[in-house]
């Protein structure tokens, strides 16, 4: 995406606000962060990625001070031992390459329309409110609409899918 298109997209889109809670030393619930989170590019994708939260362990440790690990892992797809939570915004007329991650992903389309592409030529058109549970399959996304699509993803590492004696790895295709 050219810098002009990115700048225009940033002006047109509503920022994602993140509110994170925690505890005081005496156990009182408090807000520890309340701010918009800036998107970033994830080459070679034309999409914008907004990383909302990242954990390094599962189950996560809520008994620690808030540290924004998502900022440290902005170029990582999944947490190998925890979880990641991000927003992906796909511009009209573009999409992602076919890809697979060794993960279980929950995707929720919030805005626009997006087409899920599978390698059996299956096309599934999603509308706002639709949910995809991605179970380590190779797939792509295509925005055939005329507005940006905004989709939230919660991702967990998973066991590799085994087909016969072959384990399916993380993969990207043109």
Q: Tell me whether strands 131-135 and 114-118 are parallel, antiparallel or unpaired.
A: unpaired
CA distance 110 to 107: 10
Domain that holds residue 70: 3-173
What's this model's pTM, rounded to 2 decimal places? 0.88
- DSSP helix, strand, coil percent of the chain (3-state; round to 5): 10, 45, 45
Q: Specify the CATH number for the domain of residue 59.
A: 2.60.120.10
Residue 3: its pLDDT value, please?
42
Which residue positions in the chain have pLDDT lower than 70? Answer: 1-12
DSSP SS3 for 48? strand
In 3D, which of 111, 150, 139, 144 has the Cα closest to residue 125? 144
Residue 18: its pLDDT value, please?
97
Residue 12: its pLDDT value, please?
62
Distances (CA, A) of 77 to 40, 81, 136: 13, 12, 13
Q: What is the per-residue pLDDT across 16-27, written as a single tens digit (0 to 9) for each?
A: 999 999 999 999
Residue whose pair of structure tokens reads 């540290």 in the numeric block: 67
Residue 124: its pLDDT value, please?
98
166 and 113 Cβ atoms separated by less than 8 Å: no
Residue 14: its pLDDT value, please?
80
Number of domains in the chain: 1
Q: What is the per-residue pLDDT across 122-147, written as a single tens digit (0 to 9) for each?
A: 999 999 999 999 999 999 999 999 99
- Tally Cβ neighbours within 10 Å of residue 65: 7
Residue 150: its pLDDT value, please?
96
């Amino acid at each position: 995406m050219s810098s002009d298109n990115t700048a225009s997209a940033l002006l047109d889109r509503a920022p994602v606000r993140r509110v994170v809670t925690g505890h005081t030393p005496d156990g009182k619930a408090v807000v520890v962060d309340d701010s918009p989170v800036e998107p970033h590019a994830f080459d070679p994708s034309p999409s914008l990625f907004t990383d909302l939260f990242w954990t390094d362990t599962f189950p996560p440790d809520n008994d620690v001070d808030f540290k924004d690990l998502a900022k440290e892992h902005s170029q990582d797809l999944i947490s190998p031992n925890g979880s990641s939570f991000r927003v992906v915004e796909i511009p009209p007329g573009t999409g992602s390459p076919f890809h697979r991650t060794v993960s279980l992903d929950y995707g929720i389309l919030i805005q626009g329309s997006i087409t899920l592409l599978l390698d059996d030529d299956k096309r599934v058109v999603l509308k706002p409110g639709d949910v995809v549970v991605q179970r380590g399959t190779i797939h792509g996304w295509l925005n055939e609409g005329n507005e940006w699509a905004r989709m939230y993803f919660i991702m967990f590492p998973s066991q590799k899918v085994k087909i016969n004696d072959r384990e399916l790895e993380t993969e990207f295709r043109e």
